[in-house]
């Protein structure tokens, strides 16, 4: 049997060939202007990541509704006109050109934050039902969407996909994970509707399936369309692994080119590596006690079961660090593409270094702390009363590294956790103020 190497090309069902098996997973950038348009910082950041060698780069959330953002620095393409170009199209083209400058793919992640849009963005979020996200008081009670609004949002997913293609992005990913709008429709906890959009799993999955169908129709058969899906919400009574397997079977019929396996929501953020607090650098899963190669990636066991029913290629993100574990997962047939996120915030050339053998393992907190302050306000402080600030601070720490890369600077691993957290709070609130003022 031939060995699959990280630098081996891979052809998607739509016919597009990606140059290698590594993908920069989606991570929220937060560098849009007050009009929620792309900026030069996007181009600078993604040119850096393109040069880093990953075969696919997936953007952070690009929202279809400017009034329900994941954070105030998101790009939003809303309203997306049926015909003609939206404002900021030149900046989207510049972003796409920079992000594909190394012969790689650049896919736009299309999303709607739903009830997970924070209060400083909106006091009137929307969701499948009026089920509030209870987390630090930072999220208002959502209003249940009307059916005509759901139908409109399905078309918005499609229109944004069309605009992404016209701007030069080489693919799109429909975000159906992490508790955002499409994901919240899948869960019986957050979806308590009694119409055709709620109740049975078939009804709860209708929004996701219709959105994927509409996106495919908008971009044509030869353009990559990916989906990000939770393997499990990890909440009792929520979207389960068994539900996931059935949804994957339905997605088999929708011409999906790559299915990314993830898990968790803001209430149970297995995507972060902690429980009980929210995350926005979205590639991390819970720390495993077992340290074998087979357990290095957090969702491999879920991916094995999904592989049994999925006919489309699979991507697993979260926890991969060593080249040996990545190649083992590929050669066992568990997945076809390896997703990397956080290591690229401090070491954007990680994919290239892994493929050419210069490093055997991607950077982690333990690696960066060799250069950083190891005091109590560090990304891995063991002091229990500081757990919450460590979770939010780690998120903020990575945001600051992304900002530095977007400004053309080198990452700064020595940055303190508490300082990053305070900068994050200041940036979020001031950006939110500028966005609201711009929309008046």
Under 8 Å between Cβ of 251 and 312: yes
Q: What is the pLDDT of residue 364?
A: 67
- How far is the C-alpha of 119 from the C-alpha of 127, rounded, in Å? 14
* Band of residue 63 on the pLDDT scale cut at 50, 70, 90: very high
Q: What is the C-alpha separation between 343 and 398, in angstroms, rounded?
A: 10
Token pair of 213 as six digits? 């169908």
Q: What is the pLDDT of residues 369-383, one digit of tens each?
A: 444 444 444 445 555
CB 131 within 8 A of CB 192: yes
Distant-in-sequence, close-in-space partners of 98: CB < 8 Å, separation ≥ 6: 42, 43, 44, 46, 47, 50
CATH superfamily of 10-365: Aldolase class I (3.20.20.70)
Rounded distance, CA 100 to CA 98, Å? 6
Q: What is the pLDDT of residue 147?
A: 97
Token pair listed for 237: 């009574």
- The reported pTM is 0.91
Mean per-residue pLDDT for 377-391?
55
In contact, 104 and 57? CB cutoff 8 Å: yes
Provide the pLDDT confidence category of residue 421 given band limits of 50, 70 and 90: confident
- And the tokens for 256? 């999906």
**pLDDT, greater one: 439 or 199:** 199
Q: What is the pLDDT of residues 330-353, one digit of tens each?
A: 999 999 999 999 999 999 999 999
12-27 pLDDT per residue, tens? 999 999 999 999 999 9
Q: 342-359 burial, b if ≥16 CB within 10 A, otherwise e?
A: bbbbbbbbbbbbbbeeeb
Burial class of 239 by CB neighbour count within 10 A (0 to 12, 13 to 18, 19+): buried
Would you place residue 156 in the very low, low, confident or very high pLDDT band (cuts 50, 70, 90)?
A: very high
From residue 14, alpha-carbon distances to 10, 100, 157, 260, 412 in Å are: 12, 19, 19, 16, 40
Residue 264 CA from chain centroid, whole number: 12
The residues with which 108 forms a beta bridge, in sequence order, are 172
Least Cα distance to 344 among 352, 333, 336 occurs for 352
Gap between the Cα atoms of 7 and 19, Å rounded = 7
pLDDT for position 81: 62
Domain ranges of the chain: 10-365
């Amino acid at each position: 049997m031939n060995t699959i190497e990280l630098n081996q090309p891979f052809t998607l069902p739509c016919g597009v060939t990606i140059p290698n098996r590594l993908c920069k997973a989606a991570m929220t950038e937060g560098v849009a202007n007050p009009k929620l348009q792309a900026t030069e910082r996007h181009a600078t950041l993604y040119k850096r990541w393109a040069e880093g060698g990953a075969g696919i780069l997936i953007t952070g959330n690009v929202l279809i509704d400017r009034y329900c953002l994941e954070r105030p620095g998101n790009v939003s393409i809303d309203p997306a006109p049926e015909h003609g170009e939206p404002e900021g199209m030149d900046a989207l083209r510049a972003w796409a050109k920079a992000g594909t400058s190394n012969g790689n793919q650049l896919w736009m992640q299309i999303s709607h934050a739903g009830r997970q849009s924070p209060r400083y963005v909106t006091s009137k979020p929307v969701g499948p039902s009026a089920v509030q996200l209870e987390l630090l008081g930072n999220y208002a009670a959502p209003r249940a969407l009307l059916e005509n609004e759901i139908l409109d949002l399905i078309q918005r997913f499609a229109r944004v996909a069309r605009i992404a293609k016209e701007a030069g992005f080489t693919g799109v990913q429909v975000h159906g994970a992490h508790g955002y709008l499409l994901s919240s429709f899948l869960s019986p906890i957050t979806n308590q509707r009694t119409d055709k959009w709620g109740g049975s799993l078939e009804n709860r999955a209708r929004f996701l399936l219709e959105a994927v169908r509409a996106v495919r129709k908008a971009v044509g058969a030869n353009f990559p369309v990916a989906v990000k899906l939770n393997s499990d919400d990890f909440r009792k009574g929520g979207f389960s692994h068994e539900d996931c397997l059935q949804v994957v079977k339905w997605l088999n019929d929708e011409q999906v080119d790559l299915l990314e396996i993830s898990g968790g929501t803001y209430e149970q953020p297995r995507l972060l590596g902690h429980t009980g607090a929210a995350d926005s650098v979205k590639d991390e899963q819970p720390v495993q006690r077992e340290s074998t190669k087979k357990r290095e990636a957090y969702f491999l066991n879920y991916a094995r079961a999904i592989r049994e029913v999925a006919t489309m290629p699979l991507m697993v993100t979260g926890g991969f660090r060593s080249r040996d574990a990545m190649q083992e997962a590929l050669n066992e047939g568990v997945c076809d593409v390896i997703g990397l996120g956080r290591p690229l915030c401090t070491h954007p050339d990680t994919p290239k270094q892994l493929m050419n053998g210069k490093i055997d393992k991607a950077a982690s907190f333990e690696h960066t702390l060799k250069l950083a302050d190891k005091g109590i306000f560090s990304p891995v402080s063991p002091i229990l009363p500081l757990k919450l600030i460590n979770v939010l601070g780690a998120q903020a720490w990575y945001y600051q590294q992304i900002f530095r890369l977007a400004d053309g600077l080198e990452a700064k691993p020595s940055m303190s956790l508490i300082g990053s957290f305070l900068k994050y709070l200041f940036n979020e609130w001031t950006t939110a103020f500028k966005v609201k003022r711009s929309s008046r």
